[in-house]
Chains A and B, each alone.
Chain A
């Protein structure tokens, strides 16, 4: 087990001249599960591969525990990695796959057998040990890939989008499995995903990356509840947060079809107001005047799509149960929102104002 610290990591790919990491600083506490999340091309995979040693940073420093590993080869870093494609050795049986890393390190055969015997039942692999990877289902392969990491007992686990090749039902299952595993092993893990559900449910620490920089890092609920930038706010939450360009007059933000109370007053006049779809309630008071366009009913909730005012900003409201269905077509819906649920961003910089 070890904490990881990353200082001023920069990486430009030769040839393309594309700067993928623009000076990353991050501390990963010992025993935590840190999730790196962001859209594709944000640098999350490159950051993970830099931790693994598969990429060498142009500058900066990576420490695992008290060792500076920046220039070390992957095999000298005491890490294990689970790949998106699982990357099982196709010519080796499950048992040989599990034993591969241990054998290379010269672990005695008895020890290897003991470790496999310990890990295999945890991952329900005991029946599959003599099979070749091509005779396994996707989920089984995924479990072998995890088992291969676990038997190594590394000081750091790295996961590169390990669930994206699984179907939706299995994904939820394995997600829970990984969380459970983390609780049990208490190991330091770094997990890369572009899926916000995985990010929110798994993370002790959530790190949102965009364009090669960290937008925000912190406990997932904090990041969700107090997004520091408009990008973070937009990236987390389903359906996504509504953004309305508004002007502030005193403690009230106004825009066509919208007039909401703010928790306090701001110096800036031109702002973007962010309201999560689930933070609005139907109310005749009508702080928001939603012109209804269509509804997506999911049974347990419904998403009402419309515009604010006659031709204002598009807006989505989430209503409990079946309420949305009752709105007449092209009707109006009054909505209210609590001032504490209104996020205010500087329209020019996209930063949250507080």
Chain B
């Protein structure tokens, strides 16, 4: 599906590029449903007002939005105007994806003055504010609580740093201050204690995800929930609710100010028709357009004049979020802010699990933040590497020349020209899809910095990883600790896959078994279901309060387990999920191999005096081994790199200790300031480890 979509995007953008000309403007957005309908309606109006102009719009899935922009704009087939959150502006500017707005389109008086500075870089405005998004309090019933303490129950993603921010602010804390990490300063101790106590009292649900909150609020299990405007889209249509700014923790206390995201309309550096693009920008934020977006798209619009419209001003939902936004703090766009999320979220999780005191968690978060944001390795002299590459190229050229002069080699090549012709397309495809990314990935591991600003650092990334970033070698999160977990993970999984797969295959291969075909299909089902679907289902089953596993435990009188709060249980949950996903493969392989074990040999063993167990252990199993050995190697490699399960089920909890090497590499690339070089070094190490392991296994097999 995603591939099809990507293809479509490519096609569409290609066509639009082919027709690039004056009188054309392309708009990209990540809107769905009501917001998309409102935007489409506005674009129709714009078309009507500009006969002859070609106005195209494309909805790109949010997850793929930034990477699509990055892929399309530099090559001239991206949008002219696109809508995105202000937090990304600095990043986009660094990558050359966005241009300052021409003064002609800017009317600063149309918006609240607080909204423009976040959209400015170096004194130039880069986007026009479209809509505002922040957290508010959803309420069922008429009563408006004076304080959070007055609420009997409250659902929100307590473990999430973004959702915790309003509380932190209410207690006078800050996430960052300038470029400094301020979470560990002190007030966070109070906010963390407050949440921990509320969770302990059962006022706030544990391990609440957005889906769970939605379910609880819709069902009336809770009458108050903290979420953003996006939450409303999934609520039942007939549900009566209101939105108000989050009230103070205690009556009369500080306001819990949430972070504010400003959605802006941005301009690509080289619009096809600058004038038309400017027209469109102005049109999108014009009061009449803003009213349409507010009324039909349910957007909390930034254009001040729109709020003079009676319908907009009196809409309780819009009004509620507008009030919330008025108090909200625009989200800082600095690198420090982006690096703050992961350590903060982990600290909150640890406190909510009751593992540590808020103070200890804050100190650790500060340490983590410092580790992630520490200066990049210094530039290294690339001459030696260049010399090496040159030397290799020279040797390659030398070998090629020698081969070309060897008449026999030439004859052989000529003799197989047609054979080469047949495999050319496959070689090209494999080179493009496997070879090139591999080489680029490996090369990236010698660089540091963010994309667009990479510098060569030699082996510094590897050196950093291999000396555990200077900390104790087996400290939690160090390469060696993660490697040990990964090996334990692989061994546990492969052994269980093998035992369960072989045992089930033996059961299924009994000719006396009735309904064999049905069992076989049922047992293969876990394999057929996409792994992330199963992983999410298992994650739900392991939920402490609402999961099926604990429900079963409760039913048989066992104390419910907080699965993701201890390493052993979180690891066991991961293993259970992956065993569920992996045993059918071993079972199918074993079934095939069993069919090749001659019946007479087993009968011979039976006559020779072997019991059932001896027949399996002395005859069947040795005969299965040649088939199972490659399956085990394959299974081990898959398991070693089983990202889905670890990422989706435990997500590394508790405290990153169940991460395996691939998921750790992912964190470095995508959760910790896009340290692609560092993550690539991880990937290369994983690759080398696997090559080494398979080599050893093969050597051992050859020796046996």
B-binding residues in A (CB < 8 A): 52-54, 73-75, 79-81, 83-85, 87-91, 100-101, 104-105, 148, 152
Contact = CB atoms under 8 A, between A and B. Distances in A.
Contacts of B360: none
B598 A89 contact: no
Nearest to A77: B607
Contact of B607 (A80, A84, A91): A80
A165 to B, nearest CB: 11
Contacts of B607: 52-54, 74-75, 79-81, 101
Contacts of A104: 608-610, 614
A79 B608 CA distance: 8
B608 A148 contact: yes
Nearest to A154: B607
A152 B610 CA distance: 13
Nearest to A83: B600
B361 to A, nearest CB: 57
A246 B609 CA distance: 56
Contacts of A85: 598, 600
A191 to B, nearest CB: 16
Contact of A75 (B598, B608, B625): B608
B601 A88 contact: yes
A100 B604 CA distance: 10
Given A90-B623, A91-B622, A81 B604 contact: yes
Contacts of A52: 603, 607
Interface in B360-401: none
Q: Which of B598, B609, B614, B619 has the most CB of A within 10 A?
A: B609
B611 interface: yes
Contacts of B610: 75, 104
A79 to B, nearest CB: 6
Contact of A100 (B598, B600, B605, B625): B605
A216 to B, nearest CB: 29
Nearest to A14: B512
Interface string B578-613: 000000000000000000001011011111111100
Given A54-B606, A104-B609, 10 more contacts: A52-B603, A75-B611, A85-B600, A88-B601, A88-B604, A90-B623, A91-B622, A100-B608, A148-B608, A152-B608
Contacts of B605: 89, 100
Contacts of B618: 100
A83 B609 contact: no
A74 B598 CA distance: 18
B326 to A, nearest CB: 79
A75 B609 contact: yes
Nearest to A81: B607
Nearest to A101: B608
A87 B611 contact: no
Contacts of A88: 601, 604
16 contacts: A54-B603, A54-B606, A54-B607, A73-B606, A80-B607, A81-B603, A83-B604, A87-B598, A87-B604, A88-B604, A89-B604, A91-B622, A100-B618, A105-B609, A148-B608, A152-B608
Nearest to A90: B623
A91 B609 contact: no
A138 B15 CA distance: 70
Nearest to B614: A104
A305 B152 CA distance: 109
Contacts of A91: 622-623, 625
A100 B598 CA distance: 17
A80 B607 CA distance: 6
A83 B606 CA distance: 12
B621 to A, nearest CB: 10
A79 B625 CA distance: 30
Q: Which of A73, A81, A89 has the most CB of B within 10 A?
A: A89
A89 B619 contact: yes
Contacts of A79: 607
Contacts of A74: 603, 606-607
Contacts of A89: 601, 604-605, 619
Contacts of B601: 87-90
Nearest to A92: B622
B365 to A, nearest CB: 58
A124 B619 CA distance: 26
Contacts of A84: 600
A81 to B, nearest CB: 5
Q: Which 10 A-B pairs have the closest CB atoms?
A: A101-B608, A87-B604, A87-B600, A75-B609, A104-B609, A91-B622, A83-B600, A74-B607, A81-B607, A87-B601
B535 to A, nearest CB: 39
A235 B185 CA distance: 104
Contacts of B619: 89
A54 B601 CA distance: 12
Contacts of B614: 104
A137 B600 CA distance: 19
A94 B97 CA distance: 74
A136 to B, nearest CB: 15
Contacts of A152: 608
Contacts of A90: 601, 623
Contacts of A81: 603-604, 607
Contact of A83 (B603, B611, B622, B625): B603
A239 B625 CA distance: 51
A159 to B, nearest CB: 12
B623 to A, nearest CB: 6
Contacts of A83: 600, 603-604
A255 B199 CA distance: 109
Nearest to B602: A87
Nearest to A78: B609
A88 B623 CA distance: 12
A48 to B, nearest CB: 11
B628 to A, nearest CB: 13
Contacts of B603: 52, 54, 74, 81, 83, 87
Nearest to B626: A91
B328 to A, nearest CB: 72
A74 B607 CA distance: 5
Interface in B604-648: 604-611, 614, 618-619, 622-623, 625
Nearest to B606: A74
Contacts of B622: 91
A54 B610 CA distance: 13
Given A90-B623, A91-B622, A91-B623, A101 B600 contact: no
B283 to A, nearest CB: 79
A54 B605 CA distance: 11
Nearest to B608: A101
A141 to B, nearest CB: 12
Q: Which of A79, A80, A90 has the most CB of B within 10 A?
A: A90
Nearest to A158: B607
Q: Which of B598, B603, B625 has the most CB of A within 10 A?
A: B603
Contacts of A75: 606-611
A87 B610 CA distance: 14
A85 B601 CA distance: 9
Nearest to A105: B609
Contacts of A73: 606
A99 B623 CA distance: 18
B450 to A, nearest CB: 57
Contacts of B606: 54, 73-75
Nearest to A49: B603
A81 B608 CA distance: 8
A205 B339 CA distance: 93
Nearest to B512: A14
B463 to A, nearest CB: 48
A54 B609 CA distance: 12
Contacts of B604: 81, 83, 87-89, 148
Interface in B500-547: none
Contacts of B611: 75
A91 B608 CA distance: 16
Q: Which of B600, B618, B622 has the most CB of A within 10 A?
A: B600
A36 B215 CA distance: 76
Contacts of B609: 75, 101, 104-105
